[in-house]
């Protein structure tokens, strides 16, 4: 992370129009880093996240170190509180990390690298550079995710407690970013309750949001089973009902929303010719949760568009049963019988281990 003088700001400039992204670079380097730390720690599967080294200490190309709940794997983050970001900045950020790859990170089981950027990353040149960096990190087994100000804002939509902690004036920013999600679980004015009571209430509301998300995740698994069993109308009606319930939908955690959107897209691509709508839902899910797997969905969309080779490339390396079955079906359709048999044989051997 780049150094600043640490002087706090009184607050961000106000939102001028609905949907405008906050200018996170206004908060300063260290406050932006703390915001990213809190957001990273709420990611699914993360046990704890800490700033990697105090001010002035060598950080080996990262700013944040997150321990995962599933074992000894870790995820790392780098924070760039920039007003403008270029393809060169993007490449340099990766270079900072890989400078310490051989001597430090290669043996640490790093699974994901998140680049937190306080400004917009939508320029075509930057998007092309992102594709290059994703390939660069994939070569060493790491998922690469750049989070722009838009992604950070979307991640904060169900995290009013983080918004209150780091953005000022807090009530205005909670309303601007969290909107109906915050209204679903209203919180009292900070002037009316002691800090310890505020913290307790915020924790309770966050727990309620997590409870709703957990319930939807369980129902989603049941709907996936219903779909496999041929009860398609039941699955479609459940998705439509959930999406129509704005209070419930807005209170879901981003990762759960992404899973529902991917499922909805799968339903569409398997029952209609509306690949544009399926693609739109897939893109929305990626913005909410870039780490959510979409290989099978993207492959189905490519296949439906008449690009079977693209579909096969998207499925390369995917080892779940559904992906292998889809790969085998596409190969069979293309007349590549031997390759189809190899995929099915390998899947059978894995299943019997």
181: burial class by Cβ within 10 Å (0-12, 13-18, 19+)?
A: buried
**DSSP letters for 183-221:** HHS----TTTS-HHHHHHHHHHHHHHHHHHHHHHHHHHH
User: Residue with structure tokens 């760039």?
Assistant: 80
At 13, is the pLDDT very low, low, confident or very high (cuts 50, 70, 90)? low
pLDDT at 15: 55
Residue among 62, 64, 130, 67 at smallest CA distance from 97: 62
* pLDDT, the chain, mean: 81
At 69, is the pLDDT very low, low, confident or very high (cuts 50, 70, 90)? confident
pLDDT at 58: 82
Mean pLDDT of 60-70: 90
User: Residue with structure tokens 């390939």?
Assistant: 135
Query: 189 or 149: which carries more pLDDT confidence?
Result: 149
User: For the domain 24-178, what is the CATH code?
Assistant: 3.40.1350.10
Tell me if the bond preceding 169 is cis, omega within 30° of 0: yes
pLDDT at 292: 67
At 136, is the pLDDT very low, low, confident or very high (cuts 50, 70, 90)? very high
> At a CB cut-off of 8 Å and minimum separation 6, what does 56 contact?
none
Alpha-carbon distance of 306 to 302, in angstroms, equals 6
Strand partners, 146: 115
Condensed to tens digits (0 to 9), the pLDDT of residues 14-25 reads: 554 555 677 888
Provide the token pair at 321.
């049963």
Q: Find the range with the poorest average confidence among 36-45, 179-188, 307-316, 332-341.
A: 179-188
For the chain, how far is it from start to end, CA to CA, in angstroms? 46
Residue 248 has pLDDT above 50, yes or no: yes
C-beta separation of 284 from 261 below 8 A: yes
Which of the listed ranges 101-115, 171-185, 255-269 does the model predict with the highest average pLDDT? Answer: 101-115
Residue among 177, 140, 171, 187 at smallest CA distance from 155: 177
Q: Find the range with the poorest average confidence among 170-179, 218-227, 231-240.
A: 170-179
pLDDT at 190: 41
At 40, is the pLDDT very low, low, confident or very high (cuts 50, 70, 90)? very high
pTM summary value: 0.52
Cα–Cα distances in angstroms (integers) from residue 42 to residues 20, 46, 216, in the given order = 24, 7, 18
Pairing of strands 46-51, 64-68: antiparallel
Provide the token pair at 265.
């897209």
Query: 314 or 95: which carries more pLDDT confidence?
Result: 95
* Sequence ranges of the domains in the chain: 24-178, 180-292, 306-353
> At a CB cut-off of 8 Å and minimum separation 6, what does 344 contact?
324, 328
**DSSP letters for 294-306:** -HHHHHHHHHHTT
Q: Establish how many alpha carbons lie within 13 A of residue 79's alpha carbon, considering only the half-sphere containing its beta carbon.
A: 29
How many helices (H) and strands (E) would you count in the chain? 16, 5
Condensed to tens digits (0 to 9), the pLDDT of residues 284-325 reads: 888 777 766 788 888 889 888 888 898 888 888 787 788 888
C-beta separation of 54 from 194 below 8 A: no
pLDDT at 349: 47
Condensed to tens digits (0 to 9), the pLDDT of residues 276-287 reads: 888 888 888 887
pLDDT at 273: 83
Alpha-carbon distance of 343 to 338, in angstroms, equals 9
C-beta separation of 79 from 33 below 8 A: yes
Residue 10 has pLDDT above 60, yes or no: no
> At a CB cut-off of 8 Å and minimum separation 6, what does 148 contact?
117, 119, 120, 121, 122
Alpha-carbon distance of 160 to 206, in angstroms, equals 9
Percent of the chain at pLDDT > 70 equals 82
């Amino acid at each position: 992370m780049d150094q600043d003088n640490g002087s706090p700001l009184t607050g961000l400039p106000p939102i001028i129009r609905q949907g405008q992204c906050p200018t996170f670079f206004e908060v300063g380097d260290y406050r932006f880093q703390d915001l990213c730390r809190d957001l990273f720690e709420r990611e699914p599967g993360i046990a704890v996240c800490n700033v990697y080294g105090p001010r002035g200490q060598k950080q080996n190309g990262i700013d944040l170190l997150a321990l995962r709940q599933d074992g000894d794997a870790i995820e790392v983050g780098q924070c760039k509180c920039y007003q403008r970001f270029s393809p060169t900045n993007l490449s340099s950020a990766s270079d900072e990390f890989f400078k310490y790859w051989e001597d430090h990170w290669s043996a640490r089981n790093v699974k994901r690298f998140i680049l937190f950027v306080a400004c917009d990353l939508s320029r075509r040149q930057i998007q092309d550079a992102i594709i290059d960096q994703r390939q660069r990190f994939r070569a060493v087994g790491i998922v690469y995710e750049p989070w722009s100000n838009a992604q950070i804002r979307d991640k904060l939509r169900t995290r009013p407690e983080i918004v209150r902690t780091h953005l000022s004036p807090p009530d205005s920013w909670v309303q601007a970013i969290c909107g109906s999600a915050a209204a679903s679980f209203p919180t009292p004015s900070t002037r009316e309750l002691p800090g310890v009571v505020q913290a307790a209430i915020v924790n309770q509301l966050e727990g309620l949001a997590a409870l709703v998300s957990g319930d939807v995740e369980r129902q989603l698994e049941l709907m996936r089973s219903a779909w496999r069993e041929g009860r398609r109308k039941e699955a479609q009606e459940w998705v439509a009902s959930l999406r129509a319930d704005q209070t419930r939908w807005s209170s879901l955690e981003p990762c759960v929303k992404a899973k529902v959107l991917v499922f909805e897209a799968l339903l569409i691509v398997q029952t209609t010719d509306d690949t544009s709508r399926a693609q739109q839902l897939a893109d929305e899910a990626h913005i909410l949760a870039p780490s959510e797997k979409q290989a099978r969905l993207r492959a189905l969309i490519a296949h439906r568009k008449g690009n079977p080779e693209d579909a096969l490339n998207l499925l390369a390396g995917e080892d779940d049963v559904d992906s292998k079955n889809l790969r085998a079906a596409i190969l069979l359709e293309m007349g590549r019988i031997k390759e189809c048999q190899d995929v099915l044989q390998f899947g059978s051997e894995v299943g019997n281990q």
